[in-house]
Amino acid sequence: MRRLILIGLTAGALAFTAAPGNAQFGDLLKKGQDVLGGSKTGDASGVSGLTTDEITQGLKEALRVGSDRVVTQVGKNDGYNGDPAIRLPLPGSLKSVQSALSAAGMSGMLDDLELKLNRAAEAAAPKAKSIFVDAIAAMTVEDAKKIYNGPDDAATRYFQSKMTKPLAAEMAPVVSDSLSDVGAIKSYDSVMGQYKQIPFVPDAKADLTEYVVEKGMDGIFHYLAKEEAAIRQNPLKRSTAVLKKVFGGT
């Protein structure tokens, strides 16, 4: 029964994330319909004609499509800046700078810096696509079973464990270049120059590259967890024949 539900989950994931007409989605959905309809027999795994490898590949495809959608979402213009859930605020290490300059009527400089930090995160996000592809390709049958049997964010946790270090390494040089390209470094230097002219303020500094990389990854995993939970809990509101048969009609 768990494996049958996984088939429905896979179909639901693809229906939830893929554009209409996606050939891979259609193929996998047809497999699910065949299995649940009983038209296939004699499988190696004992699951109505669908092998464990096929189930694993279906899950991989669902995760690939879902992760691609998330990266595309956050990597577009205002993907971070226009989204309160993942928008990058100024680094906490600049709180004293923010307070001092705001009191001096120079909050506009801080707003400009914050905007440019978000622009840098948006520019770097597409780098995550290839890292997701590698992590999914390395997924084993055992990994897939753990993801299916785990909590609603099990796939997200899997990706975090496999991707955090390589993703940070890939994004760091892109973020560094982006900070310069979008004018964040210049904006930061201007902010700090003004701050240092104010008497008796404490020292303050921020590693902008490290900060944007960390928060950029947080934004990606934030939405990946939401995507995963939605796929598990409400696969296209069970509107397909496969999902109705596995989970019951809505």
3-state secondary structure string across 112-176 = HHHHHHHHHHHHHHHHHHHHHHHHHHCCCHHHHHHHHHCCCCHHHHHHHHHHHHHHHHHHHHHHH
pTM: 0.74
Of residues 247 and 99, more confidence is placed in 99
User: pLDDT digits over 11-36, tens only?
Assistant: 344 333 333 333 333 344 344 334 33
One-letter amino acid identity for 196? K
**pLDDT tens across 36-47, in order?**
333 333 343 434
- Provide the 8-state DSSP code for 151: -
Considering 57-66, 79-88, 125-134, 197-206, the range whose residues carry the highest mean pLDDT is: 79-88
Domain extent listing, the chain? 2-76+88-247
Q: Check if the beta carbon of residue 148 is closer than 8 Å to that of residue 6.
A: yes
Question: pLDDT at position 63, please?
Answer: 78
pLDDT digits (tens, 9 = 90+) for 136-170: 888 888 888 787 778 888 889 999 998 899 999 98
Predicted confidence band at 55 (pLDDT cuts at 50, 70, 90)?
A: low
